[in-house]
Amino acid sequence: MKMNEPENHNLNGIAAAIRQNRRFLVATHVRPDGDALGSLLGLTSILRKAGKEADPYCRDSLPPGYEFLDGADSVRHVCHDSSRYDAAILVDCGDFERVGTELADSIRPVPLLMNIDHHIADSPFGDLFWVETRASSTCEMLYRLSSSLGVPLDPAIATHLYTGVLTDTGSFRFANTSRSVLEIAADLVGAGARPAFIAQQVYDSASPRRLQLLARVLSTVSFLAEDRIATAELSQRMFEETATSPMDSEGFINELRSVKTVQMAILFREESNGMVHVSLRSKGNIDVASLAHKHGGGGHRQAAACRIRGSLHAVRSRFAVEAMSYLS
């Protein structure tokens, strides 16, 4: 990785760098969600359609519900030789290390590092970066990149990008759903994305084991501050009892957020290394990104996360008290 001073070149700078290079490593963050996968596969397809060579990388396997995406079976988990690439592009990563330690080590020697993202970050990384925190999703940004590169949308690319927009706007329910987002979604549908099919694959393809896991999580729900905060937990034992993994818990926090009185939802997930992953969601003007940032995490105003060392019980108790001070 070059040690040049990073510069926000925005869309035009990224597009110019893509035109000037031929072989690309494309990567996204660990425990990928819909926007991560949509942008990973979408950008890979856009680059290939522009006459470039591109390979998609993600440390973790795809979570249930995303196997339908074109190219999903081609995602690589380890990079054995990064010397063949002219440039690496990370998508939907608020931090370079979010790709995972091994993949990050493989990317570092690549001559040019580009970063396309919409998360809030103190210091965006990369030789070139294009970060738009007001964008609904990274896939929304890639929609504009495809146009800048002169790459016409096809059904596969439209499906990739629509999936990211759909999931990062909470099915067009969150505050980041603007008129322009809906216009982009309409254009993607016009290019071949099938909303009903995509929604069914993403939201209605759960396994019985996932439902059993959700039942255990919901049994731990508690409400604080006159029901304005909802918390729940996921223990390692729950995963063992249901033969599931953290990928099966994607979207669980939205069950807490769906309660009418809840302004902040917090899901605590026990990891195997003595850490607790804390997911945060909010409504209205509550900025959970600032709360996550205090603990080394980040994200968006209404959707953020962090990791805290300690036991599940201790972290949940301590963090819940701290969260109450963020209520409006």
Q: Is the pLDDT of residue 4 over 50?
A: no
Q: Please indicate, yes or no, whether residues 248 and 271 belong to a single structural domain of this protein.
A: yes
Q: Please indicate, yes or no, whether residues 135 and 219 belong to a single structural domain of this protein.
A: no
Lowest mean pLDDT among 3-17, 41-55, 77-91, 186-200: 3-17
Distance CA 25, CA 86 (A): 8
Q: Please indicate, yes or no, whether residues 102 and 127 belong to a single structural domain of this protein.
A: yes
The average confidence (pLDDT) of the chain is 94
222-255 pLDDT tens trace: 999 999 999 999 999 999 999 999 989 999 999 9
Q: Is the pLDDT of residue 114 over 60?
A: yes
Residue 85 lies in a domain: yes
Parallel, antiparallel or unpaired: strands 264-270 and 229-234:
parallel
Contact 157, 42 (CB under 8 A): yes
Q: Which residues contact 164 (CB under 8 A, 6 or more apart)?
A: 34, 35, 36, 37, 38, 39, 42, 92, 137, 138, 139, 140, 142
Q: Which of 143, 178, 202 is the last residue of a domain?
A: 202
C-alpha distances (whole Å) from 168 to each of 37, 162, 174, 176, 233 are 11, 10, 8, 9, 23
Number of domains in the chain: 2
Q: Which of 162, 178, 202 is the last residue of a domain?
A: 202
The predicted model gives 51-61 an average pLDDT of: 98
What CATH code is carried by the domain that includes residue 235?
Answer: 3.10.310.30
Instruction: Determine the structural domain holding residue 12 and report its residue range.
Output: 7-202
Residue 245 lies in a domain: yes
Residue 27 lies in a domain: yes
Q: Please indicate, yes or no, whether residues 136 and 68 belong to a single structural domain of this protein.
A: yes
Q: Please indicate, yes or no, whether residues 233 and 133 belong to a single structural domain of this protein.
A: no
Residue 134 lies in a domain: yes
Q: Is the pLDDT of residue 69 over 70?
A: yes
Q: Please indicate, yes or no, whether residues 13 and 94 belong to a single structural domain of this protein.
A: yes
What tokens were used for 295? 């603990």
Residue 22 lies in a domain: yes
Exposure letters 41-79 (e unless 16+ CB within 10 A, then b): bbbbbbbbbbebebbbbbbbebbbbbeebbbbeebeeeb
Q: Please indicate, yes or no, whether residues 177 and 260 belong to a single structural domain of this protein.
A: no
Q: Residue 123's beta-bridge partner residues?
A: none
Q: Is the pLDDT of residue 38 over 80?
A: yes
Cα 238 to the chain's mean position, in Å?
24
pLDDT band at 310 (very low <50, low <70, confident <90, very high): very high
What CATH code is carried by the domain that includes residue 39?
Answer: 3.90.1640.10
Q: Please indicate, yes or no, whether residues 46 and 182 belong to a single structural domain of this protein.
A: yes
Share of residues in the chain with pLDDT > 70 (%): 97
Q: Please indicate, yes or no, whether residues 195 and 266 belong to a single structural domain of this protein.
A: no
Residue 2 lies in a domain: no
pLDDT band at 130 (very low <50, low <70, confident <90, very high): very high
Q: Please indicate, yes or no, whether residues 196 and 224 belong to a single structural domain of this protein.
A: no
Q: Residue 303's beta-bridge partner residues?
A: 281, 300
Largest Cα span, the chain: 57
